[in-house]
Amino acid sequence: MSCRNCEINPVIKLPNSNIYQCKKCFNRYFEKKVRKTIRIYKLLDKKDVIGVAASGGKDSMSTLYILSKILEPQKTKIIALAIDEGIESYRDLTFLKNFCKKNKIKLHTFSYKKEFNKTLDTMLKITKEKPCSICGVFRRYLLNTKAKQLGVTKLATGHNLDDEAQTILMNQFRRNISASARLGPITGTISDERFVRRIKPLYFLTEREVAVFAIINGLKDDYNECPNAAASYRCNIRDMLNDLEAKYPGTKHSIVNSFIEIQPMLRQFFNKKQIKTCKYCSEPCSQEVCQACKLANKLNLLD
């Protein structure tokens, strides 16, 4: 087997095809797919200040790398925002810090310990809430509030096609369709300055494609998984989808592509619901009090 174009050793077989590509051809294919997603879904505007939600993992490192490459010629400002949840022997931002330093990208780090008075590990000792439920609510809250304070107009995340297929199914299985209205390559049901819109440049690339891209470009040095991940609902859905994909190749692409077809209707339908403002923190929410304030109150974090 060799690269279809160059006839040298391949680094990957593209999904749902018999096409093999070498490093150079795959890098070109990857960038082309990102550029197409940006163009078709209008992810970027000339006046944007881009914040990349970076964790040091393969997805966010690939996002940071490819966006800084694409945005460099047009001089669009790009910064990185990292969240340190406080998970022992997992969250290590050293690689990310070195990358940002080397590439002159300003990195802003926010920790649960400083913002909520406790690390995630400590919070888990005082509650029976699921780790990812706490972690996800606080991460979304911090990214939105801090991005606004930093003047970020679009927040780029490293979500790939596998992540999106999992989330679509999770929302379906949990009868949470209104949450699906907020998915897609660019999020937000309405243009509302309380939200920093999120963009997903890797939306149409699979987990495997992103992993290969990160490896061949030296964007990841280790692959440890969060100790809380195995018990998560997402992890079960991920395994189920991987099984299905192995038996029926193309399943993940079909889930995402059919979702994209119906999503405009979902957005139209759920747009009619008014978004409220949290009476404690003024962040946007669906009820009187946002999830982060409810959780902080429940865990006595703000005393």
Measured distance CA(182)–CA(206) in Å, rounded: 20
Q: 96 touches which of ligand SF4, Zn ion, none (CB within 5 to 8 A by kind)?
A: none
Q: 181 touches which of ligand SF4, Zn ion, none (CB within 5 to 8 A by kind)?
A: none
Among 22, 135, 212, 214, binds ligand SF4 (CB under 6 A): 135
Q: Residue 132 interacts with ligand SF4 (CB under 6 A)?
A: yes
Nearer to ligand SF4, 190 or 231 (CB): 231
60 secondary structure, DSSP code: H
Q: Residue 228 interacts with ligand SF4 (CB under 6 A)?
A: yes
Q: What is the DSSP string of 76-132?
A: -EEEEEEEE---TTT---HHHHHHHHHTT-EEEEEEHHHHHSS-HHHHHHS--S-HH
8 A C-beta contact, residue 12 and residue 26: yes
Nearer to Zn ion, 258 or 282 (CB): 282
Binding part of the chain for ligand SF4, among 3-11, 18-26, 64-72, 130-138 by CB under 6 A, reads: 130-138
Q: Residue 137 interacts with Zn ion (CB under 5 A)?
A: no
Tokens for 180, please give them. Answer: 């699906």
Among 131, 158, 185, 201, binds ligand SF4 (CB under 6 A): 131
Residues β-bridged to residue 197: 154
8 A C-beta contact, residue 122 and residue 88: no
Nearest to 31 by CA among 186, 201, 198: 201
Stretch 258-287: interaction string toward Zn ion, x if CB under 5 A: --------------------x-xx-x----
Q: In the window 236-295, what residues touch ligand SF4 (CB under 6 A)?
A: none
Q: 280 touches which of Zn ion, ligand SF4, none (CB within 5 to 8 A by kind)?
A: Zn ion
For residue 96, the SS3 value is helix
Q: Residue 150 interacts with Zn ion (CB under 5 A)?
A: no
Measured distance CA(190)–CA(159) in Å, rounded: 21
Nearer to Zn ion, 133 or 263 (CB): 133
Size of the chain, expressed as the number of residues it contains: 303
Measured distance CA(197)–CA(159) in Å, rounded: 14
Measured distance CA(97)–CA(91) in Å, rounded: 12
Measured distance CA(23)–CA(12) in Å, rounded: 8
Among 232, 278, 285, 290, binds ligand SF4 (CB under 6 A): 232
Stretch 207-226: interaction string toward ligand SF4, x if CB under 6 A: -------------------x
For ligand SF4, the binding residues (CB under 6 A) are 85, 131-132, 135-136, 226, 228-229, 232
- For Zn ion, the binding residues (CB under 5 A) are 278, 280-281, 283, 290, 293
